[in-house]
Amino acid sequence: MSIATVFEIALAAVVLGLAIWTIAVPETYSATVGFVAYGLLVALIWVRLDAVDVALTEAAIGGGLGGVVLLGAAARLRDAEATAAERPDRSTRLIAAILSASIAAALAFAILILPDYAPTLAPAVVANAGATGMANPVTNVLMAFRGLDTMLEKVVLLLAVVGVWSLASDRAWGGRPGPRHEADPNGVLAFLARLLPPAGIVVGIYMLWTGADHPGGAFQGGAVLASMWLLVIMAGLADTPPVSSRWLRFILVAGPCLFLVVGLGGLCFGAAFLAYPVAFAKPLILGIEVAMILTIAATLALLLAGAPERNT
Amino acid sequence: MMATPSALATTTADLLLVLLIVVPVAGVLLAFALGDRYVRRVAFTVIPVGLAISGGVLLALPQNDGHLVYLLGAWPPPLGVALRADGLSAVMLAATAIVVCAVAIFAAADFRLAAGYGRAPFAFWILLLAVWAALNTIFVGGDLFTLYVALELLTFAAVPLVSLEGRAETLQAALRYLLFALVGSVLYLMGTALLYGLYGTLDIVLLSHRVSAEPGALIAAALMTTGLLAKTALFPLHLWLPPAHAGAPAAASAILSGLVVKGSFFILLRVWFNVLPGVPGFAAAQFLAALGAGAIVVGSIVALRQQRLKLLVAYSTMAQIGYLFLLFPLALDASGRLETGQALAGGLIQAISHAAAKAAMFLAVGSIYAGLGHDRITGIRGAARALPLSVMTFGLAGFALMGIQPSGASLAKELLLQETARTGQWWWAGVLQVGGMFTAAYVVLVLAHALSPSDQPVALVAKPPRGSGLAALALALCSLLLGLLPWEPYLPITYTVESKLFGDEALVKFLVTVFGGAALAILLSPWPHPLAFSAAGKTIMQLIAPLRRTCIGLGSLVETGDGVLRQWSTASISLLLVALLLAALMFAAN
Amino acid sequence: MNLARDIMTIACVSTGAFFFLAGTVGLLRFPDTLTRLHALTKADNLGLGFVVLGLLPQAEGLRDGLKLISIWMFALLAGATVSQLIARAVRRSGAR
Amino acid sequence: MSSVSVFGLCAAAAVGLGLYGLITNPQSLRKILAFNLLGSGVFLLFGIVGRRGAAAGVGNDPVPQALVITGVVVAFSATAMAIALLLRLFHTSGSTTLGSRAPTSSRSDAPGG
């Protein structure tokens, strides 16, 4: 057994331990903290699987923004825990355990008997990378070969925003999402919120730019930008914009809109819908990604902020 | 690069497939950007265009050998994603467009949604377009992962529709729906991952060439099927459906009940018939149909016991979904392979017929609710006089559903019955007949209450706008006349079903269904029956009183059982059980 | 030269790992929030610092080195702010 | 044991744990957590499939990687929407469970049109 294998087994054991903790620990808040740690360690697994793009996404979302959403909810729901219904009785739990274990066993079985010759599209992706002029194969798949999925996924994000906003009370419609954050303007949080964002914005843009040839991309960069915006909001230096704001609406649709327009352009000037003319492929894709990073940052931040709550 | 049959030059007709997705998506984006004031205007610009495109596909398909293909970005699968349309997609596209249109006309006049530029109209119109975009993608998507994204798009559009009114119980219904649907899509995704690991592609056509009945593929098939069943709310995985569909505003309920559940059902058809027709086998198909039969019986009995009209219609949806699953065993050929034949055609026609009829029913019930200020079944006496249009719509839609000639349901039933005879599975013929009778039962029950005269004049809370009533009526008529349409260019119908519109046989069938239904309604509905108000009726009721007591007791037992099944833990345990059973049955068959 | 680099890396990363270990033990064993916080920040500052220091000789160029150092700086900044916020919250609520 | 097997078993176990948590935890927030666990197990499954398909100088088949990135975004949106629903539900009714109080048995005339 090599050192790498020992490390991997230890990593898997710790991840599983955290997963069990997340499911089994009585207090919801502790479970949530466990899940955030779990998300960060799963990002390490992704690095071990040589999927750095996914690792970045998982760390930014699973451990990062997703963790913030869940922790925020856990903190707000702390009082409700006492009134919560009782756990199902012992026999129900036993049956559930047996059935879940059977499903997991079936899945493990299916994984272990996957054929020795693994089918792959990696050579095809690498061979066609010239069409976009970008060296990061994942970005190529996301933006060129499976562009429709990526565009629809952005619509899913937008619908999530519509869904969250639709939960506002009629009185608060058009107002600002989330509670107002009052913080000491000379406090340490405000200090951090002034110091960090410039650096964070540079990091976010760098992740977008480097995503063309190395791991990174609009989503990972957008998550960094979103967290910077949230930091500024939480420090009380800025307020969330009202949902009726016109510029906010435009930013939220900018990414998918440009994607759609470029896709239709491919219909007129290129080979097909969502095809990029080879000469302009890279600038076009980067253009879409720039619009997308803004959209993603705004969307993620607003999903975290929640439904409109107040008109002032 | 793999040479695929689809690697041909694209024609203008193929371009329609792109527009099917692009136009509603563009509508969503535009409506969102322009804001409250313009959402409705955007929707009403997009809807005719979308209708025209769906019609275009319908026209173009026969001229292109029944197949349209578009390679997105000109990348052929397995690297790229292809959009494909066949006869099945074409008819579903057209049906969806028509239902969306009618619901939009209804909602434009609906005072709840039309008033002001508030939150509810903003969300409703955007979500309506999003549902449409998702469904169109599902109908033409040629890649299992694209279908997953479309399925999620559909869920994300459907869940906020449930909680549009923001009351606590609708919020709870929406949350249940969301969580259960998410579990369903995760199971589907698991199967997708396994299929990719086995065959290196998710393209439906390529997979159909590569898939064989090996253990990994069987597990994948069981997981995907179970996930889609959860999203389609097949009994016993229906915990989310009744509260979600009954709690939404009428126009939203019509979309949810008529269209949204058909999305996951259509993907299930694609997976079973196009991706792995040889894999599931005899036993698994019988199992699905058995669950369907369970849905028909439980759904109908519980529907008859509902006090609120909207819940009755919601439970009727649960029963009708069960009806759709009867097609699976009937589509098996002699070697246990699923055949794209008449059973599939019958099931699809049933799905379309249900889409139109159920949407019309929900719209009619919405108008009755708006008019009377409540929807208690025992309190709608005299409604036929006060709200003739709505009650007539409900009645026509009900007749269409129970399979009266020349409705789509009657054609579907005819086709499925022929298949039962061909494959020698007589037991499903019985279920088909009983299903029609159960449908008749709750339709007759509602009509009997609505048609019976009221003691005091019915006071209307509000007068439902005429436009919305006409839209619902048009949908009901559509469903009632579906059986007359020429389906042969699109669906594999081999037998000629001669239309016996006014023959003796049709009359006998009609009478048997209606009277059987009436008997069931009297026996199973616990509410004071309108019959009991006349002298002759009283004697009849007294004669059958003991039998009726037994039946009502039985019904109450079924209702209790349904309540248990709809608890979260029971339902999710059933979910895992269904997955394991399906896997075991598939292993046994291979 | 290579050997010297590797020795430095091994020494520094081991020291860093020791600080992380000590910090974790402190987090689990110390009696109240403020002392736990002390253990945690020590692990962050010194542990991560030593790990970064140990990795610097292995960096392929100036850019990678700067990235490593900035990671440490950001972690320091975030750690300092968050522990300050926690400490203040503890003092306000009076909980120990 | 190769890393694929180790993490493959880990993924299967995460799926099992997620399913168990979804069934047995009464609080909705815990169900959402369990769903995320379940989802991450499925994504790992894609990662393993991709890792097995390492070829042409790419350490992990980029197609499953791209699918996972899309999936992570969708799962995050789902979490955000579920949390928003849950908080709104708590705000409106003070309850956070999915109590299956059958709407059929409530004899009150709850509004809903």
| Chain C residues in contact with A188 (beta carbon < 8 A) | 80-81, 84-85
Contact list in A for residue D86 (CB cut-off 8 A) is 73, 77
3-state SS of B151-179?
HHHHHHHHHHHHCCCCCHHHHHHHHHHHH
pLDDT of residue C80 exceeding 50: yes
Interface check for D81 against chain A (CB to CB < 8 A): the answer is yes
Higher pLDDT, C42 or A202: A202
Residue of A nearest to C84 (CA): A188
Residue-level pLDDT at D34? 93
Ranked by mean pLDDT, the top range of A201-210, B173-182, B273-282, B447-456 is: B173-182
CA angle B471, B99, B48 (to 5 degrees): 85
Task: Examine chains A and B and say if they touch (3+ CB pairs below 8 A).
Answer: yes
Number of CB atoms found within 10 A of residue B461's CB: 10
Considering A116-130, A131-145, B314-328, the range whose residues carry the highest mean pLDDT is B314-328
Cα D47 → chain centroid: 17
D49 backbone dihedrals φ, ψ, rounded to 5°: -60, -45
What is the SS3 assignment for C69? helix
Q: Is the pLDDT of residue B532 over 70?
A: no
Choosing among B83, B119, B122, B164, which should be mutated to test the A contact, i.e. which has the most A CBs within 10 A?
A: B119
**Confidence at residue B574, expressed as pLDDT on a 0 to 100 scale:** 93
Distance CA D86, CA A164 (A): 11
Helix runs in D25-61, H state only: 28-52
Inspect the structure and tell me whether chains C and D have 3 or more CB pairs less than 8 Å apart: no
pLDDT at B3: 37
DSSP state for residue A131 in the 8-state scheme: G
The neighbours of chain C, by the rule of 3 or more Cβ pairs under 8 Å, are: A
Q: Which of D17, D19, D50 sits opposite A51 (nearest CB)?
A: D50
Decide if pLDDT at D110 tops 60.
no
Peptide bond into D64 cis (omega under 30): no
Res B114 pLDDT > 70: no
Q: Which two tokens stand for residue B498?
A: 């001669």
Ordered by start, the domain boundaries in chain A are: 132-312
Give the three-state DSSP class for D55. Answer: strand
Cα angle B557-B560-B561, degrees, rounded to a multiple of 5: 85
Rounded CA-CA distance B469/A310 in Å is 38
Contact B565, B574 (CB under 8 A): yes
Distance CA B441, CA B518 (A): 5
* DSSP H/E element including A177: strand A176-177
How many helices and strands in chain B, by DSSP H and E? Answer: 25, 2
Contact flag A273-B153 (C-beta cutoff 8 Å) = no
Confidence of residue B502 (pLDDT cuts 50, 70, 90): low
Cβ neighbours, 10 Å, residue D76:
26
pLDDT above 60 (res D1) = no
* Number of C-beta neighbours around residue B235 at 10 A: 25
Tell me the pLDDT tens digit for each residue of A37-60: 999 999 999 999 988 999 999 888
Name the H helices within B141-240.
Answer: 144-162, 168-199, 204-210, 215-232
Structure tokens at B376: 């208690």
pLDDT digits (tens, 9 = 90+) for B268-279: 999 999 998 888
Query: Which of D35, D102, D107 is the closest to B179 by Cβ?
Result: D35
Q: Is there an interface between D and A (3+ Cβ pairs < 8 A)?
A: yes
| Contacting residues of C for A196, CB less than 8 Å apart | 74, 77-78
pLDDT of residue A1: 63
ipTM comes to 0.92
pLDDT of residue A312: 67
Band (pLDDT 50/70/90 cuts) for residue B238 is very high
Q: How many CB atoms lie within 10 A of CB B529?
A: 19
The alpha-carbon gap from A43 to the nearest alpha carbon of chain D, in Å, equals 10
Checking if the pLDDT of D49 tops 80, the result is yes
> Kindly report the CA angle at A77 between B186 and D13, in degrees rounded to 5?
30
- Shortest alpha-carbon distance between residue D109 and chain A (Å): 23
Residue B471, pLDDT > 80, answer: yes
For B130-172, how does the pLDDT look when each residue is reduced to its tens digit (9 = 90+)?
999 999 999 999 999 999 999 999 999 999 999 888 888 899 9
Task: Please give, rounded to a whole number of angstroms, the shortest distance from the CA of A264 to a CA of chain B.
Answer: 9
> How many C-alpha atoms does B420 have within 13 Å on its Cβ side?
20
Closest CA to B365 of B305, B401, B314, B301: B314
C1: number of Cβ within 10 Å: 6
DSSP string, A154-176: HHHHHHHHHHHHTTS-GGGTTSE
Mean pLDDT of chain B: 87
- Over range B238-256, report the average pLDDT: 91
The domain ranges of chain C are: 2-93
Q: What is the mean pLDDT of residues A12-38?
A: 91
Nearest CA in chain D to B379: D109
Confidence at residue B497, expressed as pLDDT on a 0 to 100 scale: 59
User: Given A53, A121, A156, which is nearest D69 (Cβ)?
Assistant: A53
Give which of B151, A41, B148 is closest to D67, Cα–Cα.
B148
How many CA atoms lie within 13 Å of A165's alpha carbon, on the beta-carbon side?
A: 30
Q: What's the mean per-residue pLDDT of chain A?
A: 87
Q: How confident is the model at residue B240 (pLDDT cuts 50, 70, 90)?
A: very high
pLDDT in tens, A151-180: 999 999 999 999 999 988 888 888 888 877
DSSP per-residue string spanning A11-36: HHHHHHHHHHHHHH-SSHHHHHHHHH
Q: Where are the alpha helices (DSSP H) in B35-78?
A: 39-63
B157, B193 Cβ separation under 8 angstroms? no
Region B76-82: mean pLDDT is: 89
Query: Which distant-in-sequence residues (6+ apart) come within 8 Å of A77 by Cβ?
Result: A28, D27, D29, D86, D87, D90, D96
Contact residues, chain C, for A191 at CB < 8 Å: 81
- pLDDT exceeds 60 at position D105: no
Q: Is the pLDDT of residue A280 over 90?
A: no
Taking residue C62's Cβ as centre, other Cβ atoms within 10 Å add up to 8
| Distance, CA of D86 to CA of D83 (rounded, Å) | 5
How do strand A176-177 and strand B82-85 relate by DSSP bridges?
unpaired
Count how many residues are written for chain D. Answer: 113
The enclosing H or E element of B422 equals helix B408-423
Q: Look up residue B359 and give its amino acid.
A: A
Q: What is the mean pLDDT of residues B445-469?
A: 81
Q: Residue A140 — pLDDT band, cuts 50, 70, 90?
A: confident
Nearest CA in chain B to A251: B33
Interval B107-123 mean pLDDT: 72
Would you report the helix, strand and coil content of chain B in percent, each value rounded to 5? 75, 5, 20
DSSP structure class, residue D64: H
Q: How confident is the model at residue B9 (pLDDT cuts 50, 70, 90)?
A: low
CB proximity A17 to D under 8 Å = no
Q: What is the distance in angstroms between the Cα of C49 and the nearest Cα belonging to chain A?
A: 19
| Band of residue B383 on the pLDDT scale cut at 50, 70, 90 | confident
Q: How confident is the model at residue B111 (pLDDT cuts 50, 70, 90)?
A: low
| B461 touching D (Cβ < 8 Å) | no
Encoded tokens for B10: 């694209």
D80 touches chain B (CB under 8 A): no
Confidence tier at A82 by pLDDT (50, 70, 90): low
Q: How many percent of chain B have pLDDT more than 70?
A: 94
Q: Choose among A5, A28, A121: nearest Cβ to D1.
A: A5
Note the pLDDT tens digit of each residue in B406-417: 888 888 988 898
Give yes or no for a contact between A243 and A165, defined as CB atoms under 8 angstroms apart: yes
Q: Both tokens of residue C41? A: 């920040």
- Average pLDDT (B563-576) is 91
Residue A181 has pLDDT above 70, yes or no: yes
Choosing among C64, C70, C81, C82, which should be mutated to test the A contact, i.e. which has the most A CBs within 10 A? Answer: C81
Task: Tell me the pTM.
Answer: 0.93
Length of chain A: 312
